[in-house]
């Protein structure tokens, strides 16, 4: 990495980017423009707690007595729980999963995947397993200039990239917001907004005279009919734009670009974010066979034998052995598969969502819903005066007020310290001085219970894919926020 103030590094580049010295090489080997959103994201708001925790642990260790007394103190672990804390732990016991739960869930996920691959059962399957028409994974020799559009949440990203023959990857990107009114308005408005931002990006980079192929990452359930033709099955993640479900989203974007008429962009491929994640990792590591998204929503894709995909005619793909399958596993549980571990808080979150009864697995583990799930638990604890007694709790009673990022920040505090926890509570309108350490400890316990359950459920899904594929050595590409 270049030093501060230096615009050069020690790597020679073979790319054709203008002003290539403005790019800096990241640890992954990717070249990113210094003033792009991709480079600035290295200073993310996610707290860096590992080094602080390490130094605190070392300090505590150094302050301990030496010799035999030190050994005694290191092995002594007090187990003093207040009555209130015991009640809280008992209150959230339904969020605790064991190995039997995970085993049953993994088997049911495998059965749901097999059902989605069968022609006669596909319509009624909760895990649809859509073919992506991506028949080969990258070999690392690809090169050229490309545009990429990544749409899958309240923001979308436009990327201009170049792959070189020396396996260098240079990237320039910008993130654009999608107003809530556009997320739930007419579909034409959404695609016009995307086209406007695309044109703005291209004109700003002065590449409007080049005809650039665009890969469209569309992170919603798709029924693909070809590499550049796909219809939206249903909206998720809070989107509900009219006139898009059942329509070809590539055609809608191309029409919006043509309405502008000032840029030369051809949408040559559409894929789910999981497929994009898998392809980008496979470009560097040919053992990669699974793409996993754990962020605003959740989904996974994997490499399947064409002979097992009964929704396709194998004769249409002579000489081809494999195809990437987009599982759309966020809908797992829609047929009741997860009822045996679903809690009343999960049901409340589902009932208040824009798509009740759908995407159950996603609502139990993904970032869009985890904060609200924690808030539901806290509200019930407050009703019984088990937490935040005497503090201003009004804002916490408002739906959606507890952001998922609060859970990350609270769990990142070193054990026994509650600095970030109190900062989060202050944002929720509470006076930090009115919140006790016991309250902070209980809040952390609830956050950990929800996030631990989510991680165990995600691992059950991954295990199902690994057993389904039965490869000896598999690398999993993971992305998310």
Q: Rg (Cα) of the chain, in Å, rounded?
A: 25
Q: Which of the 8 DSSP states describes residue 262?
A: S
Two structure tokens written together for 325: 């399958």
Q: Is 312 helix (H, G, I), strand (E, B) or coil?
A: coil
Contacts of 127 (CB under 8 A, 6+ apart): 109, 112, 113, 115, 116, 327, 328, 329, 331, 332
Q: What whole-number distance in Å separates Cα of residue 291 and Cα of residue 293?
A: 7
Which residues partner with 291 through β-bridges?
301, 477
For the chain, the distance separating the N- and C-terminal CA atoms, rounded to the nearest angstrom, is 24
Two tokens, residue 176 = 């654009």
CA atoms of 393 and 413, how far apart (whole Å): 22
> Annotated catalytic residue: which of 192, 273, 334, 350?
273
Do the beta carbons of residue 222 and residue 232 sit within 8 Å?
Answer: yes
Name the token pair of 206.
């002065």
Round to whole Å and give the CA distance between 341 and 364.
Answer: 10
Residue 372 · residue 399 · CB < 8 Å = yes
Q: Which helix (H) or strand (E) holds 171?
A: strand 169-177
How many CB atoms lie under 10 A from the CB of residue 89? 15
> Tokens at residue 358, please?
């759908």
Tell me the sheet residues that pair with 163: 144, 169
Instruction: Give CA–CA dist 420/9, Å, rounded.
Output: 36
Task: Map residue 23 onto helix, strand or coil.
Answer: strand
Q: Residues 20, 25, 31, CA angle at the centre, nearest 5°?
A: 55
Instruction: Give dist(CA 444, CA 454) in Å, integer.
Output: 15
Q: Are 399 and 352 in contact (CB under 8 A)?
A: yes
Which is catalytic among the residues 128, 174, 237, 468?
237
Structure-token match 């230096």, residue found: 6
Is 90 an active-site residue?
A: no
Is 473 known to be catalytic? no
User: What is the Cα–Cα distance from 38 to 173, expressed in whole angstroms?
Assistant: 6
Tokens at 149, concatenated: 């559009």
Nearest by Cα to 278 from 155, 132, 455: 132
Residues with catalytic annotation? 237, 273
């Amino acid at each position: 990495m270049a030093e501060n103030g230096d615009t050069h590094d020690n790597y020679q580049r073979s790319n054709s980017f203008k002003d290539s010295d403005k790019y800096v090489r990241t640890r992954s080997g990717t070249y990113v423009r210094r003033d792009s959103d991709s480079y600035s994201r290295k200073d993310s708001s996610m707290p860096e707690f590992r080094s602080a925790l390490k130094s605190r642990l070392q300090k505590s260790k150094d302050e301990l007595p030496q010799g035999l007394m030190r050994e005694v103190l290191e092995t002594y672990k007090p187990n003093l729980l207040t009555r209130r804390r015991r009640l809280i732990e008992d209150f959230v016991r339904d969020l605790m999963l064991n190995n039997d739960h995970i085993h049953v869930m993994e088997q049911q996920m495998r059965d749901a995947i097999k059902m989605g691959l069968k022609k006669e059962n596909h319509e009624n399957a909760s895990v649809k397993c859509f073919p992506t028409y991506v028949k080969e994974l990258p070999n690392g020799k690809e090169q050229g200039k490309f545009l990429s559009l990544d749409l899958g949440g309240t923001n979308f990203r436009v990327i201009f990239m170049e792959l070189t023959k020396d396996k260098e990857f240079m990237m320039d990107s910008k993130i654009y917001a999608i107003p809530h009114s556009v997320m739930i308005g007419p579909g034409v408005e959404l695609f016009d907004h995307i086209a406007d931002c695309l044109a703005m990006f291209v004109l700003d980079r002065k590449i409007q005279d080049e005809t650039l192929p665009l890969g469209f990452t569309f992170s919603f359930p798709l029924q693909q009919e070809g590499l550049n033709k796909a219809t939206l099955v249903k909206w998720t993640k809070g989107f509900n734009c009219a006139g898009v479900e059942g329509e070809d989203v590539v055609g809608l974007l191309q029409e919006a670009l043509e309405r502008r008429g000032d840029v030369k962009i051809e949408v040559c491929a559409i894929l789910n974010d999981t497929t994009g994640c898998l392809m980008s990792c496979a470009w560097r590591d040919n053992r990669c066979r699974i793409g996993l998204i754990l962020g605003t929503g959740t989904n996974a894709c994997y490499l399947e034998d064409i002979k097992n995909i009964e929704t396709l005619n194998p004769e249409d793909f002579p000489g081809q052995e494999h195809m990437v399958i987009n599982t759309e596993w966020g809908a797992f549980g829609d047929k009741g598969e997860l009822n045996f571990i679903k809690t009343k808080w999960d049901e409340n979150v589902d009932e208040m969502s824009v798509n009740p009864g759908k995407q159950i697995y996603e609502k139990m583990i993904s970032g869009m819903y985890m904060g609200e799930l924690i808030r539901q638990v806290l509200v019930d604890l407050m009703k019984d005066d088990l937490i935040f007694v005497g503090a201003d709790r009004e804002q916490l009673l408002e739906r959606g007020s507890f952001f998922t990022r609060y859970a990350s920040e609270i769990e990142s505090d070193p054990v026994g310290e509650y600095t970030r926890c109190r900062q989060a509570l202050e944002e929720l309108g509470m006076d930090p001085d009115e919140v006790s350490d016991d309250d902070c400890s209980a809040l952390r316990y609830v956050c950990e219970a929800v996030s631990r359950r989510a991680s165990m459920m995600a691992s059950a899904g991954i295990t199902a894919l690994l057993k389904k594929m039965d490869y000896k050595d598999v690398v999993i590409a993971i992305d998310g926020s």
